[in-house]
Chains A and B, each alone.
Chain A
Amino acid sequence: MSGALYQSVLRASAKTLASYAVGMVVYLWLIIGIFPTFAHSRALATLLKGLPPGMLRVLGYHVGATHLAGFLAGEFYGLIYLVIMSMYALFTASQLMAHWVDNGSMAYLLASPVSRARVAATQALVLITGVVVIGGATVAGGILGVHWLAPNVPLATGPFIAMNLVGTLMFCVVGAYAFGLSAAARDERTALGLSTMLTLVFYGLDLVGELTPSVHWLTHVSLFSVFNASQLIHGQGPIAADVVGLSAATGLLVIAGIAAFQRRQLSL
């Protein structure tokens, strides 16, 4: 790890990171702000009653939309959160390694006495820092948003934080495999393409597994099955095991990425 590189890259990418974090929080506030209207909507309640249980699980509404927790799980953590976090993790991972190699600027980092392993580890730490910052901003934004925009609506803070912790760690894993591909792929486009495809496959497997009882087992091979927002926000699920497993997976994938980068032949 190089402190100079960490500070420099983080500073250079601060605007992008802030944009993602602010966008996430603003969207969350929008959802919290419209909740009171939806909570009293008979039409929505009737619509949800007519949907099959699998679809409700996918949408995050299997406990209904009359509680803020369920509403957030369905309207925000079911898709918007996943899209914003995925975009940040995938784009940033491809930027931090493959892009530096593609445009030749990696030559300057490797022309210093900092080893390849330290350069790659620092870039991985920048990526993880970004994911954690967005995750932390979402937690803080959510708690403050409920306090300001829906002060009379109860939201259990503990499970809300736990859900965000699991979500953040899951996207650390997404970032870590995208980082590994970025460190090993021949160019930025290939790295971004492969990591995006893998993420879409994971999401698709989870979606199909939830919707179709006969292939429910598909959810077990999807990373996204770990983040069952509608359960987590109610304090359900093996949160401790998820935290340990996701942290270990992130570490292993980053180490694999560093190892691949150390062996790479670079035409810089």
Chain B
Amino acid sequence: MIALKSVTKAFLGGRGVFDLSFDVAAGEVFGCLGPNGAGKSTTIRHLMGFLRPDAGSVEINGHNCWTEAPRVQADVGYLPGEIGFPDDMTGTQFLNLVAGLRVLDPSHDRRAALSARFELDPASPLRKMSKGTKQKVGLVAAFMHTPSVLILDEPTSGLDPLMQERFLELVADEKRRGATVFMSSHVFAEVERVADRVGILKDGRLAATLDVAALRRLQKKVFRVRTGTDAEADGLASAGFPVVGRRGREVDLEVQGDYNALVRVLARCDVRALDIRPMTLEQLFMHFYGTEEATTS
């Protein structure tokens, strides 16, 4: 499991993480959310033993991530946020290098299965690969040794929607296998699918830790409905749901939890178009804290 206790790392300019504490239980998928500069990558660099905290401690499976980094890495699969590969290597050579560094037991080598899953041919030179293909190579390197802990920094960056879906399926499979997963993202909808809990970072501090199942129940979604007549649009607007936007026959309704009520209202209308907008991270903040200041208090 993962444990951060009162971790502080201050950089010049006021950036860093401050008094950061949270645990991720064995077998749990934890999503770390936050806007750019919130401290997600700094948190991950501490978990990987790349940075030493000014104060506090960071442990994975009971081992200190700075002083016992090689021991920790034996259990961990890591996908960096910024994909940078060695020059003058093909994807195959790179994956062979990673397997060699880990002295990978062939019975635990999942390179072929993962490459097939992501439709990856790693034989071409890394420098000629697209960002998405490089991301797939990074994912294979992170998952190939069947790690018990996965640390993934913006894992779907560069992947097309189909591959994003396959990645989320892979994380769900890893969760069933019992792996502990820590993944960062700035897109709530991405982690919502697979995470048990999410931690929201803001300005280097943990603003909240939320249970995703509870979040789903509480979450407000905006339904954009275009009706066939003005009267139907008026009826929708006065149906009891908060109206957050109106453009003629197009009405934006905010719905929380009880979608059946909305379906019943819509059943009486000639619905010409229907769109559901997922809650953005900013809306999530506003939803739970009302004001920006409240999130950092």
Contact = CB atoms under 8 A, between A and B. Distances in A.
* A, B bound: yes
Contacts of A13: 88
Contacts of A11: 93
Given A2-B100, A105-B85, A115-B70, A265 B50 contact: yes
B70 A113 contact: yes
A7 B89 CA distance: 12
25 contacts: A3-B100, A4-B97, A4-B99, A4-B103, A5-B97, A5-B101, A8-B89, A8-B93, A8-B97, A8-B100, A11-B93, A12-B88, A15-B88, A104-B80, A105-B86, A107-B48, A107-B80, A108-B86, A108-B94, A113-B102, A114-B70, A115-B69, A115-B70, A265-B51, A266-B45
A2 B101 CA distance: 7
A108 B95 CA distance: 10
Contacts of B229: none
B1 interface: no
Interface in B48-88: 48-52, 69-71, 73-74, 76, 78, 80, 82-88
B255 interface: no
Contacts of A3: 100
Question: 6 tightest CB-CB pairs across the interface, nearest first?
Answer: A4-B100, A104-B84, A112-B101, A111-B78, A103-B84, A113-B74
A103 to B, nearest CB: 4
Interface string A119-135: 00000000000000000
Contacts of A15: 88
Interface of B: 45, 48-52, 69-71, 73-74, 76, 78, 80, 82-89, 93-94, 96-103, 141
Contacts of B48: 107, 110-111, 268
Contacts, number: 91
B52 to A, nearest CB: 6
Given A103-B84, A105-B85, A110-B49, A8 B102 contact: no
Interface residues of A, number: 30
A112 B88 contact: no
Contacts of B45: 266-268
A111 B69 CA distance: 9
B91 to A, nearest CB: 12
Nearest to A2: B101
Contacts of B88: 12-13, 15
A266 B50 contact: yes
Contacts of A4: 96-97, 99-101, 103
Contact of A5 (B50, B69, B71, B100): B100
A215 interface: no
Contact of A111 (B76, B84, B96, B103): B76
A110 B69 CA distance: 8
Contacts of A113: 70-71, 73-74, 101-102
A34 interface: no
Nearest to B141: A108
Nearest to B74: A113
B101 A109 contact: yes
A116 interface: yes
A9 B100 CA distance: 12
A262 B87 CA distance: 23
Nearest to A103: B84
Nearest to B75: A113
Contacts of B99: 4
